[in-house]
Amino acid sequence: MRDAFTAPGRFFRGNLHTHSNISDGALPPEEVCRRYAEAGYDFIALTDHFIGRYGYPVTDTIPYRTKGFTTLLGAELHSGAMENGELWHILAVGLPADFAPSNSPGFQPVPEQETGPQIAARARAAGAFVAVAHPQWSGLTLSDARSIEAAHAVEIYNHGCHVGCDRADGFSIADLLLSEGRPLSLIATDDAHFTEPDQFGGWVMVKAEENAPEALLAALKAGRFYASQGPQIHGVHIEGDTLSIRCSPVEAVMVQARGSRATVLHGQAMTSATLDISRVAASPWLRATVVDRDGRRAWTNPHWR
């Protein structure tokens, strides 16, 4: 958790889960990039569905990079069945353009295809930042989640799943995996298709020395970022049984840890707060959440004690 706030560089705002009309989105890639740049984003990953129906695309967004806006190549990978019999959804950001297709003709599992864990491992080996997508929407079980050993992160908020079916959450799965010792980070995304108001609702703020694909990807893999729906986190400091945080004006600061362990401070327009975290001292990890007056949240990555 400290690395994101003490590392050199500045924070860049980006969306890691986006679709275009190369797969099932409504807009062409150029227009998707234009809209995110116009909305003040520094970068996006356009992650079209990597299935045969769409030609297994790793959509080329390089032509839409500008001086102040960049892109990461990626895809939403699908292969194998989860415990509920449905197809895996795995986010891979930073894929090479020639990532080898899987045997995934459509959105249903078929015999003799890679498993979800296998395609996730292949993506990580190819250099990608790998995340378990929308656990609540997918009906993911803890056993499913445990199997993706190649994951860097869990998608803890998916704005498209929020507006489309009120199944945006990934914290239950993430916290259980953290409590088993998995060193995971936490991402918020849009999963934007532009077929409903599913854009500009969840993002990551990545700390890097430059807004360039290689620097952003390295920072993502190192966990040098936080996730947000709106609030900004400027700094976090932990010393002994005290956590201090600086942020944009918020009404609550919470610290969560293993099991039911948590503590909270409520106030009005707080831009700094200091919490006694002795209550969570027995937990090997903790994370912090800030909540503004409109109920929008920002989340730190886990800090291992």
Q: Which helix (H) or strand (E) covers residue 4, if one does? A: helix 3-6
Mean pLDDT of all residues in 239-247: 96
Tokens of 268: 């009005």
Mean pLDDT of all residues in 248-256: 98
Render pLDDT for 80-96 as a digit per residue (tens, 0 to 9).
999 999 999 999 999 99
pLDDT, position 1: 45
CATH number of 233-304: 2.60.40.10
Contact 272, 247 (CB under 8 A): yes
CATH 3.20.20.140 in the chain: give the residue spans.
3-228
**DSSP class per residue in 134-188:** -HHHHT--HHHHHH-TT-SEEEEEEHHHHHHHS--B-HHHHHHHHHTT---EEEE
Which residue is it, tokens 């989640």?
145
Tell me 209's DSSP state: S
State the architecture of 3-228 in CATH terms.
Alpha-Beta Barrel (3.20)
Render pLDDT for 125-180 as a digit per residue (tens, 0 to 9).
999 999 999 999 999 999 999 999 999 999 999 999 999 999 999 999 999 999 99
CATH 2.60.40.10 in the chain: give the residue spans.
233-304
